Chain A
Amino acid sequence: MSKVEDVQIAGGSFITEDIHYNQVFTAEDFSEEHQMIAKTTEDFVEKEILSLGEEGEKLNYDLTLQVIKKAGDVGILGASLPEEYGGLGLEGIRFALMKEKLNTQSAALTMPIGGHIGIGMLPITFFGTKHQREKYLTRLQTGDITTAFALTEPQSGTDASSIKTNAYLSEDGKYYILNGSKVFITNAGFADIFIVFAKLDGKDFSTFIVERQWDGVSIGPEEDKMGLKASSTCSMTFEDVKVPVENLLGEPGKGHIFAFNVLNFGRLSVGAGCLGNTKNTIYHSAAYANERVQFGKKISSFPLIAKKLAEMNMKAYVLESMVYRTAHLFDKGLKELDFNDSNVGEKSRKAVGEYMMECSINKVFGSETLDFAVDEGLQIHGGYGYMKEYPIEGLYRDSRIKRIFEGTSEMNRMFITNTVIRKLKKGKFRALEDALARVQETFTADNQTPSHDGALSRENELLSKTKELFTYLLSYALDVFEETLEDEQEVTSNFGDIIILMFAIESAVKRTEKIIAERGEEAAQYVMKMTTVYVQEAFEDVIDFAKEIAAAMFDGDELHQQLQKITENTFFIPINTILFKREIAQKVIDSESYSM
């Protein structure tokens, strides 16, 4: 494994601190073992799922269970399981890498596996008792039993804390009696156990492990979905289900903490899965563009088609930089978890919860990068892309849900900003507090942002300016809106976007710097081009979001002055992105795959 400094990085610190590339893990740092794990996962998908052909594209419980069992045989289901329980050990990088590789080919049946090893098994791993882990995890790992995560209810989606499913302790104190209903539960059609969220006595948010065969558990019919056709999604109801007290997961009243912390990890893994899907989309789109001839030429030779491929590839590079940077953040904390420690639940909550902002960023950026890719990919296919015969049609439909589940894009954007605000209020974001106190004076065009040298000096400068601009506007927003800032959704969402772009820019720049340091500028030309183009375009977006925030806060002369200040402070001379994109596209067209 190559050079990543072993330091603990605080969640959200990227907003104020600059990071050295030595502290950033990149896809170039994969160990030999990571590469082999990636290969096995890809081989598994190819040999056990793609080989099923059309059958694998349809909903079929038996086939799904067989595939899950095979995934267990190969060890894939142990992806997030501590070694003590026969798994591979918890490691963010490995988990993200497997999620990516499960999704790098058009194999619909990987969806149930993703659910099983992610939000299905993780709650028991992190928050289960020794007894619960021994009882369930070993069999979950072999694929002998399967699991699902049941949070959403008909009246309670994004507003998860409003769930109505209720539990109360039976008179003899042996059971919790569970009543309520859930909707849209992935894997519900066949899962043997469910992680169910309910309110104890109508108030304390709690989590239970519920077995399918218990009296009173009933599963509704399969939903007729837009996409993810091979994946089971059903509603379910609980009618006086007797849940033995030992099946309470964690402490009563702490269920939301579990739910949302596991979802953090889930959000990162959505990002990683979207990376795989995006690479797959690039492959199908480039291959098609090289095959289709119009006006006597391959359509890949038309600059407008090439531009789409360049943009897809460039964003995939940024997403890849972000996913593995984030996955690595967890590893120090996860490594220190001792599953014999009775307090491991609380410790894992800390280890996972620390990076909730970064996880939300990955979720939004990943699902939207994929949506961009499938949309442009379908466009490259013209009318054929609208036909089921072409894989892009399925990719397009399947991608849509990723902006919705595990926290909608809207919620995650606002959540990112609100996390910053809450940290500030709790006095837990000193560095930002300090920066906020200074920024109104220092944010001037002559007070130059720290100068940078080296190959990506311009990009580093734009990164610094993004951070400054964010801090500058936040310093006013906290004043202007005071306590109501969280209600100004358009504003918090825009701040969320600026933070996402900031993290994206930084992840790409640091990775590229690392590649330059390791291979030299000559060999890094291609990734440098992608980084230069991406950073410029992202920075332009940052400016747009910033101006909208400014217009919401100021008016008249003050608005004029503020906009002038922003414009002067963010001035840069654009590079010729058209030319650069042509060059980026060429490699994608030549190799018909994600390129870097």
Chain B
Amino acid sequence: MNIYVIMKRTFDTEEKIVINDGVIDEDGAEFIINPYDEYAIEEAIVLRDEHGGEVTVVTVGDEDAEKELRTALAMGADKAVLIDVEDVDEELDHFSISKALTAYFSKKEYDIILGGNVAVDDGAGQVASRVAEGLGINQVTTITSLEIDGTAVNIERDVEGDVEKIETSLPLLVTCQQGLNEPRYPSLPGIMKAKKKPLDTIDLDDLDLEEEDVEAKTKTIDRFLPPEKQAGKILEGEVDEQVDELVQLLRNEAKVI
């Protein structure tokens, strides 16, 4: 089976975000594999171990993303591909990324492509779905269970806490939700082996794309941090008085009722 994972390198969820002039300061920040993509990598490895074949992890980014690709290889993926867009001057958006990935996959034979449900940094959940559309294949998002038998696929997906059962078929793209599995972390021998696994770097040229083809469809006007949390207020007096005061405050100060 030809199994692919599309992966994003993101800020460590524990990082404090610093914004300078509308740009997120990446200086000294820790980066990780997008946690939802870890579910995808884990599931891909499990599928490979069950059905045979190969797992290839693909990312769009720059050289720095090699570290996360190596991590995926250390977890057990077989190959990694970096679509290097470092030379592109303009800011890219979800359209651009999915365009590059679609071009990549249109030249490949794939049975299943797995991605994360969303990326924890911008939380858009756009790229995977766009790739499936671009390729014209089936897609199921937020999956929590996956069974493959031949080309028949049985899926459970999370719908706002409820479960939806779906039957579909390969080739297929899925996005992975929490609960699908418990991602392994790379073992130390795995890390040592990862060095020797193939990690290929390609660029837009190799995909027959021009910079215009991936030109962003959206423009980020500004970025800012949420307002700092204010200290709470403890109401005093009899319960009746407190309730009155609370209603007052909700109406006049917070203006929520």
Interface residues in chain A, defined as those with a beta carbon under 8 Å from any beta carbon in chain B: 32-33, 35-37, 39-40, 43-44, 47, 73-76, 78-79, 88-89, 590-591
Contact = CB atoms under 8 A, between A and B. Distances in A.
A593 to B, nearest CB: 9
Contacts of B189: 75, 78, 88
Interface of B: 16, 66-67, 70-71, 74, 185-192, 194-195
A437 B42 CA distance: 66
B122 to A, nearest CB: 23
A78 B185 contact: no
B16 A33 contact: no
A79 B192 CA distance: 12
A32, A36, A74, A76 — most chain B CB neighbours (10 Å): A36
B70 A32 contact: yes
B26 to A, nearest CB: 13
Given A590-B16, A591-B16, A32 B67 contact: yes
A37 B192 CA distance: 9
Contact of B191 (A40, A47, A73): A40
B18 to A, nearest CB: 9
A89 B189 CA distance: 10
B10 to A, nearest CB: 15
A32 B66 contact: yes
Contacts of B70: 32-33, 36
6 contacts: A35-B67, A36-B70, A36-B186, A40-B191, A75-B188, A78-B189
A74 B185 contact: yes
Given A33-B191, A39-B186, 18 more contacts: A32-B67, A33-B192, A36-B67, A36-B70, A39-B71, A39-B185, A40-B185, A40-B186, A40-B187, A40-B191, A74-B185, A74-B188, A75-B188, A75-B190, A78-B188, A79-B188, A88-B188, A88-B192
A247 B185 CA distance: 37
Nearest to A73: B187
A435 B9 CA distance: 54
A78 B193 CA distance: 14
Contacts of A73: 187
B185 A43 contact: yes
A591 B194 CA distance: 32
Contacts of B188: 37, 40, 74-76, 78-79, 88
Nearest to B70: A32
B228 to A, nearest CB: 12
A33 B74 CA distance: 10
A204 B247 CA distance: 86
B192 A47 contact: no
Contacts of B187: 40, 73-75
A591 B188 CA distance: 29
B243 to A, nearest CB: 28
Grouping DSSP codes into helix (H, G, I), strand (E, B) and loop, the A interface class, with mixed when no group exceeds half, is helix
Contacts of A40: 74, 185-188, 191
B41 to A, nearest CB: 14
Nearest to A48: B185
A76 B74 CA distance: 14
Nearest to B189: A75
Given A47-B185, A88-B192, A36 B71 contact: yes
Nearest to A75: B188
B57 to A, nearest CB: 15
A138 to B, nearest CB: 14
Contacts of B74: 36, 40
Nearest to B186: A40
B185 A37 contact: no
A33, A37, A76, A79 — most chain B CB neighbours (10 Å): A33
Nearest to B32: A39
A37 B16 contact: no
A39 B66 CA distance: 15
Nearest to B185: A43
Contact of B195 (A33, A44, A47): A33
B154 to A, nearest CB: 29
Closest 3 CB pairs of A and B: A75-B188, A43-B185, A75-B187
A520 B172 CA distance: 49
B67 to A, nearest CB: 5
Contacts of A32: 66-67, 70
Contacts of A79: 188
Nearest to A44: B185
B245 to A, nearest CB: 23
B188, B191, B194 — most chain A CB neighbours (10 Å): B188
A552 B140 CA distance: 81
A40 B188 CA distance: 7
Contacts of A33: 70, 191-192, 194-195
A89 B192 CA distance: 10
Nearest to B16: A591
A75 B70 CA distance: 17
A124 B186 CA distance: 27
A43 B184 CA distance: 10
A44 B187 CA distance: 9
B15 to A, nearest CB: 9
Contacts of B190: 75
Contacts of A74: 185, 187-188
Contacts of A88: 188-189, 192
Contacts of B16: 590-591
A37 B74 CA distance: 10
Nearest to B182: A47
A182 to B, nearest CB: 32
Contacts of B192: 33, 88-89
Nearest to A33: B191
Contacts of B195: 33
Nearest to A596: B28
A291 B70 CA distance: 38
Contacts of A75: 187-190
A33 B73 CA distance: 12
A536 to B, nearest CB: 26
B62 to A, nearest CB: 15
A234 B47 CA distance: 47
A482 B141 CA distance: 81
A94 to B, nearest CB: 9
Contacts of A39: 71, 185-186
A344 to B, nearest CB: 22
A43 B35 CA distance: 13
Contacts of B185: 39-40, 43-44, 47, 74
A592 to B, nearest CB: 8
Nearest to A41: B188
Nearest to B71: A36
